[in-house]
Structures are given as C-alpha cells and as structure tokens.
Amino acid sequence: MKRPILAISMVAAALVVVAILVKPTAETGESPSGKREALLATLAPRAKEISTIELAQGAKTLRLRKDGDGWILPDAGGFRAETVRVNEILAALASLEKVEAMTSVKERLGELSLAWPDDQGAAKLVRVLAGEAPIAEVVIGKERFSPEAQFARLLGESQAWKCSGTFRSTLELVNYIDRQLMTLPSGDLDRFTVGGVEFTRGDAGAWTAAQVEPAATLLETQRESAQRTIPELLSRLEIDDVRAAKEYPEHRLIRVLSRSRAIDLDIAKDGNDLWLNVNVERVADQPEPTEEVERDRVTALDKAGARCAGFEFKLPSWRATSLSAILFPPPPSPESAQQPAPGTQPTVISPAGAP
C-alpha cells in the first residue's frame, strides 16, 4: 500500500507547490498578482482522487492513466510515462487564475480559440478524471505574451477568461516518456553479430570481423559501417516513439554481448521507419560482476530490458538512415546485377598467333 500512497503524495505535492506560490503574502495580504480566483478551484483539494488525464486537440488525443506508483500511456501499449511530465500538466492547470472576464457569447469563442468541438484544431480540451467522473474539464485557447496570459474556459460554461499562468503541455506522446532507453559505453561492448558476421573488439580497441554463417549478407563496405554504427547506437540508445510490439515480415537481428549480458536488438522495417524490439538476458557461461560499478552497470541493463519487454520503439530518422544502409540495403539495379563482381571475371588468354 505504501507505493500508491507515495505516488498520490507526489501529485498532491505538485499542486501544493502551486498553492504556496499564489498564497497571500504576509507583507501585503495579497498575492503578487492580487486576489484572484483559481479557474479550477476543485483540482487541488481532489488531487488524491485523480486517476486519468486526457488531452485532445484536433485529431490528436493523449491519455495518461494512474498505475500503482506511476503513470502509463494506454495508447502506447501501457508504456510508463515520466511522472514529472504528468505533474507539470496538473501544476499548469492549478496555476490558472482568472484575471479578466472575456466574451460569453458562444459564437465568438472561436476568436480566442476556445470553441469546442474545434474544427480548426486550435483549442485544447483537458479532462482530469476520478475513475469515469470528471474532476475538471477545461478548454485551453490562445496564449498572450508581455505579460503572459492564457485564455481558457470551463467546458460546461460559455464564459471565457483571461488567466494568469500558461498551459503549454503538448499532445506528442514522445514528450511524456524517457527517450533514452539505455546507455552502453563503447568500451563495455565486447562483440556483436549482425548479418552473419561477428565483430570482436581487440585489446587495442580495433574491431575484427569474421563470417559465422554460410549465407552472410554484409558486404565489405557494410562491415566497415557496422563497426562504427552499432557501438554508437548503443552508447546512447534514443527513440522517437513507442507502441505495443508486433511481428513484421521484414526484420533483422543484432546480438550484442557485453560481459555477462546479451542484448538482442530486433529491428523491423515499417515503411521508411525502423522499429526496435529490445531483449536483455544473462549469458549463462559468464560470471556475474563483483565490483560495485560493474554491478550497477548490469543492473541498469536488466532494468532497461524489463522496461522494454512487450514494446517496440521507433528510431530517430537520422539513426534509421545509417542502419537501413546496413540492414536493409536496396536491391542492386538490373544493370549492376548483370555485371560480374570485381575480381570474378575469367582470365581470357588469346590463342597462339592471334593478334
């Protein structure tokens, strides 16, 4: 029971901080912005009840759901969201205070990007729920600068307000996850296998390549690229999206060995994108590390493997470009396919006496 209570306390703490910031000062008896009414006065008192947050804008939606001691993204297969990002949403909502009443004419709400439903995709709808019941439903419209102000209204009311504070939370799922899956310094990578070729690091740090499968698919130029690209990929494994894992007809496997752990990177091609499935397992014939630094490194790999189980991750386009050249090279053109490979042409000896 302690872990859910801790998570609830973290959410409540985020809202309490906002409340302290707008608390009347001892010197003046007023807050720095004067005596103002919170747009969502019921949000902070009911912080412990919050179970779901929904954001909608145009055709995009984002859902965050409470799960034990943290938050998950149901539309990303239940991948864990960053709690600090969730707290930023709640804190931004709680900080909105009414400064000035604007229009209450429904037909004019669109001028402040406060119409809902919004055919233009300019307004945001934010819903905070306790179970299925809404705690707060607010439409977020245009933002003003110098001084900062946010136009907003409660969904059930036509009265628009200019509010102090801002709400800049986006609906891009990638902004609510840890985009770095793992970090494996190149010196911790002992060897890896891809395309039927095994690469081994020597004592001086140089890589050697050996064909381990009869039908190896890597050309010499691809082998040279793999020696650079694969260690770089794992030194800071970053992603652009996440979703529940599925099977693909076209995929390639990279198996990486790092002391007592094997890291399988199953990379699939989906259109122009590359999606990555990660599995971390112990190498049976390798001893577990005894030094604290090594134990911490292995523990981090194990945690990354557990967090990745059941999900697949979209690689950034700049990374996908270099990997595609190694794993999914385009087929040779008909012209080049008809030409024999260099060094394979038969030697032709002219008959004796021929010119």
Per residue in 233-253, pLDDT (tens digit) is 999 999 999 999 999 988 999
Question: Mean pLDDT across the stretch 328-342?
Answer: 66
Per residue in 178-232, pLDDT (tens digit) is 998 988 887 788 899 999 999 998 887 889 999 999 888 888 889 999 999 999 9
Spatial neighbors of 167 by CB under 8 A, at least 6 apart, are 92, 93, 96, 124, 126, 140, 143, 150, 152
Per residue in 121-157, pLDDT (tens digit) is 999 999 999 999 999 999 999 999 888 999 999 999 9
Mean pLDDT over the full length of the chain? 86
Q: What is the per-residue pLDDT for 343?
A: 52
Q: What is the per-residue pLDDT for 94?
A: 95
Lowest mean pLDDT among 46-55, 64-73, 196-205, 300-309: 196-205
pLDDT band at 294 (very low <50, low <70, confident <90, very high): confident
Per-residue pLDDT for 58 more than 90?
A: yes
Question: Mean pLDDT across the stretch 65-85?
Answer: 94
Per-residue pLDDT for 90 more than 80?
A: yes
Question: Mean pLDDT across the stretch 157-169?
Answer: 95
User: 147: cis peptide before it, omega within 30°?
Assistant: yes
Q: What is the per-residue pLDDT for 8?
A: 47
Per-residue pLDDT for 285 more than 90?
A: no
